[in-house]
A and B are shown apart, each in its own frame.
Chain A
Amino acid sequence: MPSASLGSPCMIKLENVSKVFKGDVVALREANCDINKGEFVFLVGPSGSGKSTMIRLLNKQEEPSTGAIYVAGKHIGELNSWKVPYLRRNIGCVFQDYKLLSNKTVYENVAFALEVIGRPRHVVKTQVPAILELVGLSKKHKNYPDELSGGEQQRVSIARAFVNRPLILLADEPTGNLDPATSVGIMRLLDRINRTGTTVVMATHDRSIVDTMRRRVIELDRGSIIRDQARGVYE
């Protein structure tokens, strides 16, 4: 999949994508957008506006009701179910609640992501320390998640999402549980990852972050894209 992406600058493309849940709840309505390789995009909007749904559609945790989604030039709706894991290896995920495994150390949590996709041991041994260095947690690699602060836990989760060098990093409210100062540190880290050429899509409520970063903003309201602005602000 990385080779396919080199030809086209378009990393993510949504064509008339709608998502209707049971009971006629419209989470996303006729959404259209193109996101290029290396872009940093904020998805903003109130709770229930469809930000999380859009994120979940991109790594095929949900299927769109209508419309087509292309990731790295591939129509992911036409992907065989056995190929979905290989799609996800190119898409890192970060969540508000970190989703770390409490019975594993920092090192083991990050290594787990490589082990379960069958990476050989020598790759794990070199990649995990390197990524922990990048997120600034080398000294805490033997700690368990509950011994870390929220910001540190989110760094571990980012390390886990990025250790396989995915093309895309999806972040669903990564600063949602963090105080402003810690959030700034997380945003610096995401910015740094974006500079390596990784496309970052981040759903957020955090006005000050969006206003400070001045990146592309896609605003959703009740499932519809109502604004798509380069170098935008929160509203």
Chain B
Amino acid sequence: MAINGSYVLRETTANLTRNITLTLASVLTVFVSLAIVGTTVLVIRGAENMTRQFEGGVEFIVYVEPDITEAQLAEVRADLEENPLIERATYVDRDETFALFQELFEDNDVILENVRPTDLPTSFKVEPKDKSADNVSDLATYYRKRTNVFEVSAATDVIREMKGMTDFVSRSLMGFAIFLLVASSLLILNTIRTAMFARRREIEVMKLVGATNWFIRVPFMLEGLVQGLIGGVLAVGSVFVIRGLIDNQLNETSGLNLLESFSIGSEDVVLACIIVISIAIVVSVISSAIATRRFLDV
């Protein structure tokens, strides 16, 4: 059946403004819970990025001096490859390093413009035979003191601990967010129920003159959806703010360190926003569907 657009618009707006305090309560809980969800997604992605280089058994990375000669480089390579404690050492050349660098700092134009491939240290990804923390730490200390080595980054206990901590933090945040999401869906449900109760006389008349259930439901369901979406959009805004805060923090502390950098890329932010908006839509549609279904049975 034809649903008159201006009718739906008028009714939905009237519903939203009629009970402004309840509407605000719903919008704010949706906002807060989804902001937490968005932040959690950023934290998880950031932690994944941080440990991305320590994949496939790579336990530490030896950076060589940026201005090293071919002969010196060969020396370092031999030093690594002839060490009986090392399974494999893979050289990451200048192009690869620069590509990785560009990926990590893709949103930071200032850094990208001012750094040339030759400024970056190339490196060896090292996979030791014995991957125990003690052994890795010993090896890292040994290579740190060798000539022509600029820096050694190890997947040390610190990184392992940080990974464990981000896991714990993101899990707790997610649990917290789930409780808040339940609260927000109940609030949306109640807001719609209140709106329908306030208009029970109209609904009664509508049913008596033969309005279809969908015609009666649509403005109320849209009311719920709009509440969810406003909350979701605010949460998306907060995701951007939080991302900015994290970036500032990182720029201050870690500078150009390619490793151990807790970085968040644009695709992570987009992912967080998509998740936030989808949850907003799903939660609000489900709660308004339940609310309108239960109160239309006459």
What residue of chain A has the Cβ atom nearest to residue B201's Cβ? A101
Question: Which residues of chain A have C-beta atoms less than 8 A from B4's C-beta?
Answer: 115, 118, 121
Picked from B201, B211, B298, the residue with its CB within 8 Å of the CB of A116 is: B211
Instruction: Say yes or no: A61-B298 contact (C-beta < 8 A), given A118-B3, A118-B4.
Output: yes
Instruction: Assess whether A214 is interfacial by the CB under 8 Å rule.
Output: no
A88 touches B208 (CB 8 A): yes
B212 near A85 with CB under 8 A, answer yes
Whole-angstrom CA separation of A117 from B208 in the bound complex: 11
Interface centre among A115, A120, A160 (most CB of B within 10 A): A115
Cross-interface CB contact of B205 among A61, A99, A118, cutoff 8 Å: A99
For B3, what are the chain A residues with a Cβ–Cβ distance below 8 Å?
Answer: 118
Q: Does B210 contact A (CB under 8 A)?
A: yes
Question: Chain A contacts of B2 at CB under 8 A?
Answer: 118, 120
The interface size of chain B toward A, counting residues with CB under 8 Å, comes to 20
Question: How many residues of A are in contact with the other chain, CB < 8 A?
Answer: 23
Whether B7 contacts A88 by the Cβ 8 Å rule is no
The 8 Å CB contact of A160, one of B201, B209, B212, B215, is B209
Closest to A100 in B: B205
Query: A164 and B209 in contact (CB under 8 A), knowing A115-B4, A115-B7?
Result: yes
Which residues 1-26 of B sit at the A interface, judged by CB distance below 8 A? 1-4, 7
B205 touches A117 (CB 8 A): no
A101 contacts B205, CB within 8 Å? yes
B213 proximal to A (CB < 8 A):
yes
Chain A residues near B298: list those with CB within 8 A.
61
- A70 at the A/B interface (Cβ < 8 Å)? no
Kindly list chain B residues whose C-beta atoms are within 8 Å of the C-beta of A217.
none
Cβ-based interface call for B206 (8 A):
yes
Is A101 in contact with B210, judged by CB distance below 8 angstroms?
no
Contact with B along A78-101 (1 / 0, CB 8 A): 000010011111100100000101
Question: In the complex, are the beta carbons of B208 and A82 less than 8 A apart?
Answer: no
Kindly state whether residue B202 has any CB partner on chain A within 8 Å.
Answer: yes
Check if A88 sits within 8 Å of B207, measured CB to CB.
yes
Measured between beta carbons, the chain A residues less than 8 angstroms from B210 are 85-90, 117, 164
Q: Does A183 sit within 8 A of B, measured CB to CB?
A: no
Question: How many angstroms from the CA of A112 to the CA of B215 in the assembled complex?
Answer: 13
Q: Does A43 count as interface, using CB distance less than 8 angstroms?
A: no
Question: Please, which residues of chain A bring their CB within 8 A of the CB of B213?
Answer: 82, 85
3 closest Cβ contacts across the A-B interface? A89-B210, A88-B210, A116-B211
Jot down 21 A-B pairs with beta carbons below 8 A, ordered by A. A61-B208, A82-B212, A85-B211, A88-B207, A89-B210, A93-B208, A99-B208, A101-B201, A112-B205, A112-B209, A115-B7, A116-B216, A117-B209, A117-B210, A117-B211, A117-B215, A118-B1, A118-B3, A120-B2, A160-B209, A161-B209
A-B contact sample (6 more), CB < 8 A, given A99-B204, A101-B205: A82-B213, A85-B212, A99-B201, A116-B7, A116-B216, A117-B215
Using CB atoms and an 8 Å cutoff, list the residues of chain B in contact with chain A: 1-4, 7, 201-202, 204-213, 215-216, 298
> Interface on A for B, CB 8 Å cutoff?
59, 61, 82, 85-90, 93, 99, 101, 112-113, 115-118, 120-121, 160-161, 164
